[in-house]
Structure 1
């Protein structure tokens, strides 16, 4: 099967890792390039804030957002919204800001299912807590697990 590449849609990718990743998130770079190929998009220009916390200034994200808002990029590939911010509300706000201005956010559609040896229990503080002997694992399906 041949996939037609739509070169009219300029594509970017964004990665952020804290603490700094000496491997430069190479696995994630390949993931985004493969995702672009699967979706028939041009090879992405990768913006990478390595070693920066989501609570600090993220210069490459600022640059990417400015260019996307100016219409330079039509799609931004990310492994998950967590790259924008570890706070779910902030991550979704950044994603919505871009999509409201015509830039598609594209993520891998399938994640390995989460499996637990026992169900979670409600902790005394009203939040979900793992049971005392609970072990949480992701089924790898041949992929490296990501630690956030």
Structure 2
């Protein structure tokens, strides 16, 4: 409904690192597309930035995941690591709160990659559009290195 109101926009990488196709992420909930469409990124550092401008819709109590929403309704989930929920927030520092407005490129959180690895946790960052079926979404999942300026998805 009202598709003519939607504008084209891009979603940038929230972290620097190496792209992993979503189907190859070591978590079946994500790799099978049960939560949404997107990609995985094996991070080169523990700094996570907002890939869009919008609002923080949720910060998980365990600090390992953040929900974002654009003004047009597109919803994104950024999930740090596989099974990081078991750390109960240890190794994470969140810089935002639910309900807060955010600009593309603002820092969302820091995480300690070495701490995750020392606890045998895969630090892969997963970014998915959870309401992907409401948009024409193009996912760029060519394997390679990503910077924060790289576009990983386009939507309209």
User: Is this a same-fold pair by TM over 0.5?
Assistant: no
Structure number with larger C-alpha Rg: 1
User: Which protein has the bigger strand share?
Assistant: 2
User: Which protein has the bigger helix share?
Assistant: 1
